[in-house]
Structure 1
Amino acid sequence: MKLGKWPLLLCFCLSILWVFPAWAAEQVAPGVRQWSFERTNWEGKAIKGYVLEVDPKQKNTEIRAVMGNEILGSKETLSSMAERTGAVAAVNGGFFDTVTGMPVGNVFIDGKAEYVSDILRTSFGFTYGGDVKIGYLAPKIKMEAPGVGQLAVKGINIPAVSDGLVLYSRAWGKAVPAGTQLLLKPAEGGAFQVEPVSGSAQIPAGGYILSGWGNSINQLMSLPTGARVKVITELPQDWSNLRHVLSAGPLLVEGGLPVDQAVNEGLWGTVLKPAPRTALGVTAQGKVLLVVVDGRQDGSAGLTLEELSYLMMDLGAVRAVALDGGGSSEMWVKGKIVNNPSDKKERPLGNGLMIIQQMPVYIDHQRLYLDVAPVIDQGRTLVPMRKIFERLGAEIGWDEGTKTVTAVKGDLEIKLTAGKTTVLVNGKKVKLDVPAKVINGRTLVPMRFVGETLGAKVNYVTSPMQAVYIESAEGGSGNAR
C-alpha cells in the first residue's frame, strides 16, 4: 500500500481544504446522527457533503447489505430499498455492473455468501458483534460430506461453467442453468440434506441447488440421497463471525493515515477526477461514518479519491474505504434523499446499505422486513401480526370500529381485539400472556401466539444476535444462517 503525499498535503488540506464548519448534527434514531457540511476541495471549489454516524453496537442496530429487490442482478432505487426494509437511514453500497446489475466483488448477507470474487478490490463487512472489517477478501467455497470428503465449489450464483460445481441460492432469482443437479435443503446444525431434483425444482428457501458440469458431475453424483453436507466458506481468521459483506474500493485510510490505493485496485482515468463520492469509515471509538459528497454540479464540484481519503481522516476515520460513486452516490434519511444526486434523480442500484433498528424476524429462512419493530412487553416478545400472518398464508381483515383483526387460513378463523387478552380461534376463547397492542397503526401480538394458532414453530434466539425464527408447517428446518 502506498502512502499519499502525506506531510505536505496534510498541512495543505488542514489549512485550505476544510474551511467551512459542519451544520449541527440531528439525532435520526438511537445511536444514529446525521449532519451536513460545506467546504472547498484542493482546487478551491465548493463542495457539499453529508455524514451519517452510526453506533453499530447500539441495541438491535444493523448496517445491512441489501440487494436490489433481494435478487442479484436486480436494480432498485435507494428510497425503495429503505422503505421496504424499514430502515431509518441508508446510503448506496458497492460497485455493480450497470448493464447486468450484478455485483463487482463479494456479497454476504446474514452470514451466507451469495456471491464471491477474488477481484483485487477492498471489501468491508460487519460482524454479529458490531465490529467492522475493511480489507482484501477472497473467500473460497467448498463442500464437505461424510464418506466423500471435501469438494471444491467453483462459485455461488454464477453462470454455467464448462467444468465445476456451482451453488445457486434464491438470490440467483432466475432459472438455474441446465446441468446435472441436486437439491440441498436446510437441515439441523447448519447442514444441508441432499435430495434428488425432480422436474423444474425450485431453489429451497435457505438452501441451494447444486449444479455440476464436466468432470465434476462424477463428484456431484457421489453424494447419496439423504446425506448431510456442509457448505464451508473459508475466510481469514480476523474476518470470522461475519454477518454482511460488500466489495467496493479503493482503500482510503489505514492506521489513521490516508493511503493512495486507487491504481493498485484497478481504478484509473476519469474515475480519479473530481466526482460525487460515497465512503465508509470507522473511528477510533468504533463508530461507523457513512459519507456522501455531491459533485458535478453548481455548488459542489466533487472530490478526487485522494481528497476523499483526507476528508475521511479529517472526519475521524482511522480506517476507510470508498463505496460506489458518481450518479450512485446517495443518502436517504427519514423518508427522503438528503443529498443532490448528479443524475438529478435516483439511480437504480444493485445494492445498498440500510441502517435498520429492529429485532430481525425470519420466516422459513427469509428475512421479513417490518414497518413496526417487535417490542418486549412483560418479558414477552410482541410481533406485527399482519405481515407475519400474510407470509404464513392467512388473509387479514381489520375492523376500525372495534379495533379487531380477523385472520383466515383454510378452515381456521382468528379474531383478535387490541387491548384484550382473549382471542377467538374458531369461536373458542384462547388466553394471551399479554394483550395485543396497536403501535403506529399495526397490531402486535405475542410471538408464541403465532406458532400456536397457525401451526408454525417459533424460536427466539439470543446468539449470535437477538432474532425471531418462524418455521411454517410447510417450511424446512434450521435457522436462516
Structure 2
Amino acid sequence: MKKLWGKQAAAAAIAVLMLGWIAPDPTAAASGSLPLQSTVVQANGKSFTIQWTTIDLSDPHLRVMPVTAAEGIGHVESFATMIDHSGAVAAINGTFFDAYEQDESLRHPNGLLVESGSFVRSGDNVSLGIRTDKSALIHRLETALTFKVKHNKSVYTVSPWGTNTYYGDEDLDQVVAYTRHFAERIDRTGGMKVIIENGRITKMTEQSADVPEQGYVIFVGHSSNNDKNLLPHLHEGDEVEVEALIVDGNSGVTESLPQSWDTAMGVGPKLVTDGQVDIDYARDGFDDPRITSTANTRSFVGVDGNGQLLMGTLSAATVADMAQALVQLGLREAMNMDGGASSGLYVEGAMKRTPGRLLSNALIVKRYEDPQVQVTVNGSFVHEFRGFIKKDVTMVPFRGIFERIGADFHWNEQERVLTSKRGSIELVLRPDVLEATVNGKSIQLDQAPTIVDGHIYIPLRFVGETLGAKVGWDQGLYRATLDLK
C-alpha cells in the first residue's frame, strides 16, 4: 500500500476510521522482542557493565506502567511473581519503600506512582513521567488531589494529605484518599469513611467500606478539628468534582493529570540532564550515604536522543559512577531507581538480575496482541479503558464513553443484554452478536461487541453513527477523538 503523508494522510486516516476500520500500517505490526543489550563502559577511571532494554513508547502494542504487590500498597512480593501476575514482557525494580519495616503489610513505597492517568500513590519526587503524547521526561513532579463538594449552593474543598499513603494511626487529624490500588476495602478505625462514586458522596460510614472500582474512599480521622470543621460540610448525596493535578517542578506548570499524563514513577536522584551529569543530592532530597557515596548494584531509567525509554542495571557503582557511565551510553536524561538488594531486571522471559529481597513495586512493560487505542470524548481522556484494533475494526470502551456523555445504561447479566438511552436514542447491544437495535431498528455491526476484563467494547463506527459524533484519528498517537453535543 502506498504511504500517504501530511494532510493527505490525516484525511485518509479519518476517512477509514469513520468507516470503522484502519488500514494496516507496517509500523503497527505486532512488536517483536524487546532488545536486551549489554556493554562495558569506562567512567571515572573504572569499567562498568550495563545491561538494558529499550522501549519505543510510540509502539501501540506496548505500555509502560507501575505495578504494586498483588495484596495492595504496603505489601511486598517477589519480583518474579509481580512479573507473572502483571503479564510483563520487561520490568525493572521501582521506587524506594520501607524495606526494613518488620510488618510486611506496612512496607509502603516512598515515591509517587501514576498509572493510566490516575494516582496510585501521591508524592513529590524526581520522577520518570510519560505524557499522553507518549513523550518521556525526567523532572521533579508533585501530585495534588482535591475534592470540591457541592451542597445546596455552597462548595467545600477537601484536600487530602495524600493518596494511598500511610501516616500511622496516631495522628487523628489525617485525611487520606484511597483507591482500589491500595485495597478493595478500607477497614481502619478511628475515622469516617466517605465513599465517592460517579461524582457523588454515596455513603458515609464508621464501618469498613468497599472502595468503588472507579471511585474513592476518603478516610477522615476523628480529630476535634475534623469533627468540627470538615465533616459537617459532607453529606450523603452531595455532588463531588474531583481534580487531580501534577505540578512540574522544572517548568512550574500545573496540569490536569488525566489530560496530560499517563504514567509516572518518583525515585531519584536525577543523574543526567541534556546529556550531562546532573547530580544534586540536596536538591533532590537525599543524604543517605548508601545513595550519596556507597558503591552497589544500581538500577536506572533514562531517555535517549530518539525519545525512547531505557531501563537497566549496572554492576557495582556509586551514583556518580552510574551517571557518568550513562552519559557515555548516550542518554539525554536519566534517574536512579532503588538499588542494592532491590535491583532487578527482566527482559523477554529472562531474569537478568534477581532482587535479593521482596519488593513493594516495579516498573513494567506490557505487550498487547492488538494495537492499543487512546480514546478521548469531548477532550476528556478515557484512561481507565483503552480501545484496541481487532481485525481492522477499532473497538472502544462502551462504559468509558457513555459515562462521559451522561447516558443511562443497564447491563442484564442473566440475559446478557446491554441497554442504553441518551436523549431520544435508545440502543440495545449483546456481546458476540453482530447486530444492534437503535430505536427499534436493527443495525449490522462491523464486529460484534466483546467483553474484555469484564468491560464491553463496541465498534467505533457504531458510536459515531449512532450518536452523531465527529470522529478524529491521530495515527502517530493511535488516538481516536469523539466530539459530540
TM-score (norm 2): 0.66
Residues 350 and 463 (structure 1), Cα distance of their counterparts in 2 relative to 1, 3 Å cut = farther
Residue 95 of structure 1: how far off its partner (Å): 1.0
CA distance in 1, matches of 2:473, 2:66: 20
- 1:248 maps to 267
Q: 2:118 aligns with which of 112, 119, 123?
A: 112
- 1:337 maps to 351
- 2:425 maps to none
Matched, 1:195 2:203: yes
Residue 69 of structure 1: how far off its partner (Å): 1.4
SS of aligned partner of 1:139? strand
Answer yes or no: is the 8 Å Cα contact 2:147–2:159 preserved in 1. yes
User: What are the residue-to-residue correspondences of 1:116-195 with 2, within 5 Å?
Assistant: 116-118=122-124, 121-146=125-150, 147-157=154-164, 158-159=166-167, 160=169, 161-173=171-183, 175-187=186-198, 191-195=199-203
Answer yes or no: is the 8 Å Cα contact 1:460–1:467 preserved in 2. no
Please give the per-residue CA displacement for 1:335-380, whole angstroms capped at 9, x wherever unaligned.
22023x474xxx321111111122669xxx99799xxx96511426
- 1:308 maps to 322
SS of aligned partner of 1:307? helix
Please give the per-residue CA displacement for 1:189-247, whole angstroms capped at 9, x wherever unaligned.
xx344423374331221211122232223423322222221222332236651122221
CA distance in 1, matches of 2:91, 2:36: 11
Residue 279 of structure 1: how far off its partner (Å): 0.9
Residues 102 and 90 (structure 1), Cα distance of their counterparts in 2 relative to 1, 3 Å cut = same
Answer yes or no: is the 8 Å Cα contact 2:61–2:367 preserved in 1. yes
CA distance in 2, matches of 1:223, 1:431: 45
Q: Which runs of 5+ in 1 are unaligned?
A: 1-27, 295-301, 384-408, 414-428, 434-444, 469-481
The total of aligned residue pairs comes to 368
Matched, 1:267 2:275: no
CA distance in 2, matches of 1:131, 1:333: 22
Residues 70 and 54 (structure 1), Cα distance of their counterparts in 2 relative to 1, 3 Å cut = farther
Residue 460 of structure 1: how far off its partner (Å): 7.1
CA distance in 2, matches of 1:216, 1:117: 23
CA distance in 1, matches of 2:372, 2:236: 33
- 1:355 maps to 365
TM-score (norm 1): 0.66
CA distance in 1, matches of 2:473, 2:79: 30
Answer yes or no: is the 8 Å Cα contact 2:344–2:355 preserved in 1. no
Q: Which runs of 5+ in 2 are unaligned?
A: 1-29, 248-252, 374-381, 398-411, 417-430, 436-445, 461-471, 481-485
- 2:75 maps to 74
- 1:16 maps to none
Please give the per-residue CA displacement for 1:104-155, whole angstroms capped at 9, x wherever unaligned.
121222222232234xx41222122212232222323321122223222222
CA distance in 1, matches of 2:448, 2:78: 33
CA distance in 2, matches of 1:253, 1:70: 35
Matched, 1:212 2:220: yes
Answer yes or no: is the 8 Å Cα contact 1:125–1:244 preserved in 2. yes
SS of aligned partner of 1:124? strand
RMSD: 3.9
Residues 457 and 34 (structure 1), Cα distance of their counterparts in 2 relative to 1, 3 Å cut = closer
Answer yes or no: is the 8 Å Cα contact 1:262–1:268 preserved in 2. no
CA distance in 2, matches of 1:167, 1:243: 20
Higher mean C-alpha displacement, 315-324 vs 231-240: 231-240
Answer yes or no: is the 8 Å Cα contact 2:31–2:59 preserved in 1. no
Residues 226 and 192 (structure 1), Cα distance of their counterparts in 2 relative to 1, 3 Å cut = closer
Residues 239 and 351 (structure 1), Cα distance of their counterparts in 2 relative to 1, 3 Å cut = farther
Answer yes or no: is the 8 Å Cα contact 1:41–1:303 preserved in 2. no
- 1:230 maps to 241
Residues 51 and 106 (structure 1), Cα distance of their counterparts in 2 relative to 1, 3 Å cut = same
